Amino acid sequence: MKIGIIIKREYLTRVKKRSFLILTLLAPLFFAAIMFLPAILMENSEKFDQKKVIAVRDESELFLGKFENTDFNTFIYIDKDLDEAKTLVKNGEYDGLVYIPGTKLNVPVNAEIYSVRQLPMTLVTHIRATMKNVVEHEKLMASGIDPAVVKAASTTINVQSIRMSEDAEKESFSEFEFLIGILLCTLIYFVVFLFSSQVMRGVIEEKTNRIIEVIVSSVKPFELMMGKIIGIGLVGLTQFLIWVVLTLAIAGIGSTFLPTQDVFSTGTVMSEQITETAENSDTQAMLKEVFNIIDSINFKTILWCFLLYFLGGYFLYSAIFAGIGSAVDNETDTQQFVTPISLILIIPLICSGFISNAPDSSFAVWLSMIPFTSPLAMMLRIPYGVPIWQVSVSVALLFITFIIFTWLASKVYRTGILMYGKKASWKEIFKWIKY
């Protein structure tokens, strides 16, 4: 009963804060901007970018007529002295100058681009790609090799990775699975530290204001710790769910005004309908691969595991951070305790490449079982498929460790809240636990 009262107090106190409301409402707008701003800029790029006029001075005469005009660039070939051409660029007659020096023995492979203002990267890439194609063509012709034969011999090899199970066979996409894993792993890392730090700051604030002496006289330290951790955890979960709902709502509204495809709609029927109407074979293959990637991911399992490890990781580290907060007088003194703990949690992120490359290795399995690293390590493995028994054991260990550390933190809490003006150390904290 007392735990419920503390949970309610911690939850309502933080939810009613202006900072909570502002962050909760602004974050989805930020996510929406990331989603739609590139599309808006691409759609209206012609309004922002003026067409560039580029002069080409080709002394080798090998690239005359080879640079194709685009929607944003026009190439004009001139036969002027280099210094005179530079002067024209400085006077604003041309936006840039491509100078290709002539060579007597070799095919020209060097070029210089002069401009007053920085030219777009796409323009430089276009010039480089054009010169590369022309030079390769000339070298093949000089060797007596028909470039058309080389182009015809160029072949794309498609290798499918199919994961077998007792029920069915399913195509897997390692790159996409790695991307999902690293995103969820990073999200858990930052969210766990964000809300765990709130628990620590809350304890330090109550200790500094001497409010805690009144509270602890009527509530057991364990009950107070548990209520505080769960209450702030529910605040974080509420904020996260609001972010998801508002982001999806904004995405749905925005997709009606922008010509963007709904990547959230999946299914074989929709995939077949789109691929049937696509005229280009490359477009068909690309669309089919996109839908195969989406269908290959078990988003339901990933979401449930994310919620479990998000809550478990938050509860565990909040208990540790609450114990640290009760042992110090101000936030500055927490660095000596927080730094080694943060280094432990960040181990899976450092080893993310190895874990994703070998998700079933002994090292990856042990990291996903150890409670201090399992929230991040397991989320790196989940998209690749993890046996249910490993997930069950890992989650059980995580929540059991949370209960143990909450009990240990309450022992530190019971003694530490009454200590003022004395800097605590790890040795001192261990003594408090033994009391």
d(CA 72, CA 52): 6
Where exactly are the structural domains of the chain?
A: 51-153, 172-259+297-434
Residue of 312, 303, 307, 317 lying closest to 195 (CA atoms): 317
pLDDT of residue 8: 83
pLDDT of residue 211: 60
Angle of helix 299-327 relative to helix 335-345, nearest 10 degrees, comes to: 160
Residue of 428, 430, 421 lying closest to 208 (CA atoms): 421
pTM (two decimals)? 0.63
For the residues 334-355, what does the mean pLDDT come to? 84
pLDDT > 60? residue 47? no
Containing H/E element for 52?
strand 52-58
pLDDT of residue 99: 92
Task: Please state the separation of Cα 311 from the chain's center in Å.
Answer: 20
- Of the pLDDT bands very low, low, confident and very high (cuts 50, 70, 90), residue 77 is very high
Q: What is the DSSP string of 290-339?
A: HHHHHHHS-HHHHHHHHHHHHHHHHHHHHHHHHHHHHH-SSGGGGHHHHH
Give burial (CB, 10 Å; 0-12/13-18/19+) of 14. buried
Task: Assess contact for 287 and 275: CB atoms under 8 A.
Answer: yes
Residue of 6, 16, 24, 20 lying closest to 241 (CA atoms): 24
pLDDT tens, residue by residue, 156-215: 766 666 666 666 666 666 677 778 888 888 888 888 888 788 778 777 777 776 665 556
pLDDT of residue 41: 63
For the residues 328-335, what does the mean pLDDT come to? 72
d(CA 242, CA 195): 16
- What percentage of the chain reaches a pLDDT higher than 90? 8
- What percentage of the chain reaches a pLDDT higher than 70? 74
**Lowest-confidence segment of 42-51, 53-62, 229-238, 368-377 by average pLDDT:** 42-51
- SS3 assignment, position 187: helix
Task: Assess contact for 374 and 398: CB atoms under 8 A.
Answer: yes
pLDDT tens, residue by residue, 100-117: 888 776 777 888 999 988
Question: What are the CA-CA distances from residue 351 to residues 102, 308, 309, 365, 394 (Å)?
Answer: 51, 22, 18, 13, 19
pLDDT > 90? residue 396? yes
Angle of helix 299-327 relative to helix 174-208, nearest 10 degrees, comes to: 30
pLDDT of residue 255: 63
For the residues 342-368, what does the mean pLDDT come to? 87
pLDDT of residue 107: 77
Number of CB atoms found within 10 A of residue 158's CB:
7
Token pair for residue 339? 């730094």
Parallel, antiparallel or unpaired: strands 52-58 and 96-100: parallel
**Lowest-confidence segment of 25-39, 144-158, 175-189, 298-312 by average pLDDT:** 25-39
pLDDT > 50? residue 271? no
Provide the CATH number for the domain formed by 51-153 in this structure.
Answer: 3.40.190.10
- SS3 assignment, position 393: helix
pLDDT of residue 106: 73
